[in-house]
Amino acid sequence: MLMKKAYIILQNGRVFEGKSFGAEGRVVGEIVFATGMTGYLEALTDPSYYGQILVQTFPLVGNYGVIPEDFESEEIHVNAYIVREQCEFPSNYRCQGTLDAWLKKNSIVGVYDVDTRALTEIIREYGVMNAIITDSLPEPLVPDEVLTYSVRNAVMSVTSKEKELCPAENRDEALYNIALYDFGTKRNIIRSLQKRNCNVTILPANTPASEVLEGGYDGVMLSNGPGDPKENVEIVLELRKLIGKIPIFGICLGHQLLALAAGAVTTKLKYGHRGANQPVKDLKTGRIYITSQNHGYAVDASTLPDFASLRFVNVNDGTVEGIDYAGKYAYTAQFHPEACAGPKDSDYMFDEFMSLIDEFKNKDRNYAKEVN
């Protein structure tokens, strides 16, 4: 079978030639790379990749096929997918199809037979940039649509349209009612709460704080999601009303949005952290965890308010990886404790959330005892 050529043209004018798989077409996006050896299904269905062209650095992708049970959402959210080699004959007892057919079905452009190592080196050296994938070299080589492209309105493009209840794994043993702000949530955040006896109510990203405070919830989960956190001005204003009023646990974009609500500042990283091998240090214990991450922005530690303290830092570049909000019953992680396909080193942070909720519930009782 004759494979069609595909060209990847970077914003800086570099051109990579490959072969087309998945859907055919012309697509523009912000090009980023991820270093995970497994988890391509989770990456493609992670809403945090909305508006981006994803380069997979591991050379062989698609070898265990398509397994719907492993999806992090119902849709593929990348604009396009670039790999070194795509496996045409996957082998796994749960496999329900090939990566090529799945991309075609979802109208996602793919390119393979690309030197992904060289492409990744360029992104690391020059930083994240825009790119276009096309079947012929355009004139001019870098069209205006590439130069002007940006990921906009990202959260509202991927959030739930209406409220949804996801009961605890064992409904008869449910102990907590959690409000999950959906900024582009991954399914495994929901699963991680459900298996800890939580009924989870998924809320659209623009849900007013008053609805949360009056909803009888025991705690608030702030999910991951795509785009520039500073774009979400109205959401940040609502989150500000929740600080100190109810226990809060934020992950990834949720971590950044709560920091903005507390008065901190976020900045864009040169090429972000995307993959399953990011080392993070817990400043409380000195322990190092290997974590899964997917973000292009970070909180500026120097702008944290007095009631916020740095808890986790990235060992590689020293960026903020977690914040504790003293006396506010809130804490956040830039990395993904719920990560699938792993690692699971920091999964205990969900247990900490349950303990924080219990502490919040007991504070008024303890105060009453002290008064009496």
CA distances to 213, 290, 363 from 342, in Å? 33, 9, 35
- Structural domain spans, the chain: 5-151, 155-364
Q: Which amino acid is at 95?
A: C
| Residue 364: per-residue pLDDT | 63
Mean pLDDT of the chain: 95
Point out the catalytic residue in the list 252, 255, 295, 321: 252
| Residue 372: per-residue pLDDT | 40
Q: How confident is the model at residue 368 (pLDDT cuts 50, 70, 90)?
A: very low
Structurally, at CATH architecture level, domain 155-364 sits in 3-Layer(aba) Sandwich (3.40)
Point out the catalytic residue in the list 77, 255, 273, 336: 336
Active site residue 77: no
pLDDT tens sequence across 190-231 = 999 999 999 999 999 999 999 999 999 999 999 999 999 999
Q: Which pair of tokens denotes residue 168?
A: 């605890």
Q: What is the CATH number of domain 5-151?
A: 3.50.30.20
| Residue 52: per-residue pLDDT | 98
Distance from the first to the final alpha carbon of the chain? 83
Inter-residue contact 204 to 91 (CB < 8 Å): no
| Residue 195: per-residue pLDDT | 96
Other beta carbons within 10 angstroms of residue 349's beta carbon come to: 20
Q: What is the DSSP letter of 183?
A: S
| Residue 367: per-residue pLDDT | 41
Partners of 204 in the β-ladder: 182
Q: Which amino acid is at 76?
A: I
Inter-residue contact 203 to 212 (CB < 8 Å): yes
Section 114-125 average pLDDT: 97
- High-pLDDT (> 70) share of the chain, %: 97
pLDDT tens sequence across 231-267 = 999 999 999 999 999 999 999 999 999 999 999 999 9
pTM of the model: 0.95
Same topology between domain 5-151 and domain 155-364 = no
Q: How confident is the model at residue 107 (pLDDT cuts 50, 70, 90)?
A: very high
| Residue 2: per-residue pLDDT | 63
d(CA 143, CA 141): 6
pLDDT(1) > 90: no
pLDDT tens sequence across 148-163 = 999 999 999 999 999 9
Inter-residue contact 209 to 238 (CB < 8 Å): yes
> What own/partner pairs with CB < 8 Å and gap ≥ 24 does 185-188 have?
185/47, 185/73, 185/223, 185/224, 185/225, 186/42, 186/46, 186/47, 186/48, 186/72, 186/73, 186/223, 186/224, 186/336, 186/338, 186/340, 187/71, 187/72, 187/73, 188/72, 188/338, 188/339, 188/340
pLDDT tens sequence across 29-74 = 999 999 999 999 999 999 999 999 999 999 999 999 999 999 999 9
Point out the catalytic residue in the list 42, 238, 321, 338: 338
Section 14-35 average pLDDT: 97
Q: How confident is the model at residue 366 (pLDDT cuts 50, 70, 90)?
A: low
| Residue 365: per-residue pLDDT | 59
Active site residue 75: no
**b/e burial code for range 213-223 (CB count within 10 A of at least 16 → b):** eeeebbbbbbb
Section 337-354 average pLDDT: 93
Active site residue 338: yes
pLDDT tens sequence across 291-325 = 999 999 999 999 999 999 999 999 999 999 999 99
